[in-house]
Amino acid sequence: MGRILTADGRVLFDRITVSRAGERRNAKGLLGRDGLEPGEGLLLSDPTGMIHMFFMRFAIDAVFCTADLEVVRVASGLRPWRIARAARARRILEVGAGEAARAGIVVGDRLVLDDAA
């Protein structure tokens, strides 16, 4: 379990699961879950920079980032049965719908993973 911080150390999300399964092309992501609590999310590594919402039960915000967590796209309120991608993305932060805006995340932000938390 880790945390996502701003570059200046402000905590945005305090319960982040880090998945590297996408590097092996077998990521399950949030499938099978009924939702996410505020402050909770999943950070995926995915060399394709794409996620799908097939069989999902709830909407999410997907924050697409480069390998070093520079935000390149924010897909807000991504509903089930949709696909989203970003050309330069290698990591994708999935949080509850509306959470990216609540946290003030915008394209160009640099996020920090504190996985020692």
- Looking up residue 14, the CATH number of its domain turns out to be 2.60.120.1140
The C-alpha R_g of the chain, in whole angstroms, comes to 13
Q: Which domain holds residue 37?
A: 2-114
Is 20's pLDDT higher than 80?
A: no
The string of DSSP codes covering the chain is -EEEEETTS-EEEEEEEEE-GGGGT---TTTT-----TTEEEEEE-TT-EEE-TT-SS-EEEEEE-TT-BEEEEEEEE-TT-EEE-TT-SEEEEEETTHHHHHT--TT-BEEEETT-
pLDDT digits (tens, 9 = 90+) for 47-88: 889 999 999 999 999 999 999 999 999 999 999 999 999 999
pTM of the model: 0.91
> Measured between alpha carbons, how far apart are the two ends of the chain, in Å?
7
Into how many domains does the chain fold?
A: 1
- Least confident range from 27-31, 48-52, 95-99: namely 27-31
Q: Find where tokens 């996502």 sit.
A: 4
